[in-house]
Amino acid sequence: MIELNLLPRAIKKQITKKTQYVAMVNNALILTAVFLIVSGLMLASQKYMAYEVNMVNKNNEQMTQPSGIEEINNLMSEASTVQKDFVKWSKILNNFLALLPAGNTMQSINLDRGQAIMTMSGRAKTRNDFLQLKANLENSQILSGIESPISNLLHRTDVDFTIQAKLNL
């Protein structure tokens, strides 16, 4: 292949310089665009990081507020106290009613948790019905120390009775 060089050297130098100048301007524009994009990304990431740090600080403030934690601790201790002092009276009454033989009716039952005492009064059809009730109570696991006055045994029929017993809580 033959190359013809019809341009003088001065014009060739000018064309080469212009080509180099255009290439440098293009490179400068590309670098400027890349710089602007990277700067924008860095600014956005800085704003995002500042937002995240702010949110973490707010969460930490909420987690470490002493008044809120103390309030929750107080509520928890009150709930524990209530649960500790809870007695399932329905279970005790169901067990007691299972001990009640036929022929006996209860008129009142008084349960004192503080002294762990159960006082009951009622009527038995016969003295034997009452004695059966007393024997059932003495053999039960929920009651102990059964106290029954002698007056409970005075009548053969229609026996009005009062019994006091210690609750085994």
Quick: pLDDT tens for 107-149.
998 888 888 899 999 999 988 888 898 888 888 888 888 898 8
Question: Would you list the domain boundaries of the chain?
Answer: 10-86, 89-167
pLDDT at 98 over 90: no
> Would the pTM count as exceeding 0.85?
no
Confidence band of 65 (pLDDT split at 50, 70, 90)? low
pLDDT of residue 43: 96
pLDDT of residue 21: 96
Positive or negative torsion for Cα 161, 162, 164, 165: positive
Long-range pairs, 135-144, Cβ under 8 A, ≥24: 136/99, 136/100, 136/101, 137/99, 137/163, 137/165, 140/95, 140/96, 140/99, 141/168, 142/92, 142/95, 142/96, 142/167, 142/168, 143/96, 143/118, 143/167, 143/168, 144/168
Relative orientation angle of helices 127-139 and 89-99, to the nearest 10 degrees: 130
Question: What gap in Å lies between CA 47 and CA 142, rounded to an integer?
Answer: 70
To the nearest whole number, what is the mean pLDDT of the chain?
87
Higher pLDDT: 68 or 146? It is: 146
pLDDT of residue 3: 76
pLDDT of residue 66: 65
CATH hierarchy code of domain 89-167: 3.30.1360.100
